[in-house]
A and B are shown apart, each in its own frame.
Chain A
Amino acid sequence: MKNRSLVSINDYSKEEYLKILDLAEEFEKNPRQEIMNGHVVATLFFEPSTRTRLSFESAVNRLGGRILGFADSNSSSATKGETLRDTIKMVCSYADLIVMRHPLEGSARFASEVSTVPVINAGDGANQHPTQTLLDLYSIRKTQGTLENLNIFMVGDLKYGRTVHSLLMAMSQFNATFYFISPDELKMPDEYKRYLKSMGLKFYEFKDFTDIINQADIIYMTRVQKERFSDPIEYERTKNAYILRHHMLKDSRTNMKILHPLPRVNEIHLDVDSSEKAYYFTQALNGVFVRQAIISSILGLK
């Protein structure tokens, strides 16, 4: 992984996922390790994402590194019409590593070609957000004790949700069985179902999850946005089927945990928060350890 960019979750092998997770575990036990020794990380956020940016910056700070960059494109030269190519060429002479978020898809891959230092993709439009996926894997392994042979439920917007697509690709390495629960309009795209078939993995599709929820080891919730529906009446009719409530969990497996990439809107009812099966807030905290692991392995410090 040393000196290699992390643009897509498919850039890493199963062994490399596991190496990152092991390292993250080490950082969770001992988060303050000043091993970066003045290495500079540029955090280039061409669109704002406070949550992701703070998580990366906290990771760098705990590693003893330094940060430069910008939090949104208004404070960058991009607003003056500078191309991404030129911005990256300039920044890579100031930093040892670039963390970039950009609204255009493929921007991170392009940046990694132009840059002389490695690039970590912190989200390129609706395409990839690999550090989110690695922290999802970390959360799953931590709560289940393993990544192998799990029943993974994915709920909500499975058509446009990049987090579920990346998680599917990653979990396909661990013999998972997938349960897709979504309205017709937001079903898992065919290319992912074809991929699972080619891997010999099982998957099932449902329109709601009340009857099957007790099979789940992991429930991965996503937001169902009104704008995604061509027919607003269809949205009104189906939206409540994808809201998780406390009473639905009463016979679920004891090991079951609920994950969500956050921020949530209303898809997880507030009454779920008090359940010990609600893991989404802890999941977000794991992000710092996972990002410490990714940064230190790309810089060759671990």
Chain B
Amino acid sequence: MKDIKHLVVSAIKDGTVIDHIPAKDLFKVISILGLDHIENQVTFGSNLDSKKLGKKAIIKISGLFFRNEDINKIALVAPEAKLNIIKDYNVIEKKVVEVPDSITGIAKCVNPKCITNNEEIVTKFSVVDKKKVILKCYYCEKITDQDNMRII
């Protein structure tokens, strides 16, 4: 029950804790999940030490629970993220992020000559490699990989 003790530090009664976010991508995660537009209490910590990530960030959202397809959207920037679902100060469920088969919106196509970079169009990608998170644009069919991925 070490987890619970750790979470109690800035405990939330009910809600979601997202852990193991790469520190540099904290604000991307916040914007992908729309946490900058909600009324719920949100607290976050950044540049915390992590064996796995070097520097990690953590977000705690009170009174909010995500659907899987929503949480999977953060896979592009935080594929290692882990979720703790909290009810009455207890972790009742743990979830990991799964890279979805396709991505709508969120990322920009790397190809400057792609129609999606020249007209108001919601981007669409199929995920051709889930491990390395490599995307193929549904429109121009070009590959966008992690190194040149830009989040909208």
Interface residue A191 (Cβ < 8 Å from any Cβ of B): yes
Q: How many angstroms from the CA of A125 to the CA of B117 in the assembled complex?
A: 14
Q: Which residues of B contact A139 (CB under 8 A)?
A: none
Asked whether any CB of chain B lies closer than 8 Å to the CB of A126, the reply is yes
The docked-state distance in angstroms from the alpha carbon of A105 to that of B140 is: 5
Closest chain B residue to A126, Cβ basis: B113
List the B side residues contacting A127 at CB < 8 Å. Answer: 140-142
Closest to A84 in B: B119
A97-125 at interface with B (beta carbon < 8 Å): 102-107, 109-110, 124-125
- Chain B contact residues: over half helix, strand or loop, or mixed? loop
Q: How far apart are the CA atoms of A85 and B119 in the complex, in Å?
A: 9
A83 interface residue (CB < 8 Å to B): yes
- Closest chain A residue to B118 by CB distance? A104
Distance to closest chain A CB from B105 (angstroms): 15
From B111, B115, B143, A110 is in contact (CB under 8 Å) with: B115
Contact B116 A106 (CB under 8 A): yes
Chain A residues positioned under 8 Å from B143 (CB to CB): 191
* Residues of B with C-beta under 8 A to A83: 119-120
Report yes or no: B140 in contact with A125, Cβ–Cβ below 8 A.
yes
Contact in complex: B142, A105 (CB < 8 Å): yes
Give the docked Cα–Cα distance between A103 and B118 (Å). 11
Asked if A128 CB lies within 8 Å of chain B CBs, one says yes
Asked if B138 CB lies within 8 Å of chain A CBs, one says: yes
Chain B proximity of A129: nearest CB distance (Å): 12
The answer to whether B120 touches A106 (Cβ under 8 A) is: no
Which B79-121 residues have C-beta < 8 A from chain A?
A: 109, 111, 113-116, 118-121
**Can you spell out 29 A-B residue pairs with CB atoms less than 8 angstroms apart?**
A8-B141, A84-B115, A84-B119, A85-B119, A102-B115, A104-B114, A104-B115, A105-B113, A105-B141, A105-B142, A106-B109, A106-B114, A106-B115, A106-B116, A106-B137, A106-B140, A107-B115, A107-B139, A109-B138, A109-B139, A110-B139, A124-B115, A125-B140, A126-B113, A127-B140, A127-B141, A127-B142, A128-B141, A191-B143
> Which residues of chain B have a CB within 8 Å of any CB of chain A?
109, 111, 113-116, 118-121, 137-143
Interface contacts beyond A106-B137, A126-B113, A127-B140: sample of 14 additional A-B pairs, CB < 8 Å, sorted by A: A83-B119, A84-B115, A103-B113, A104-B115, A105-B142, A106-B109, A106-B115, A106-B116, A106-B139, A106-B141, A107-B115, A109-B140, A125-B140, A127-B142
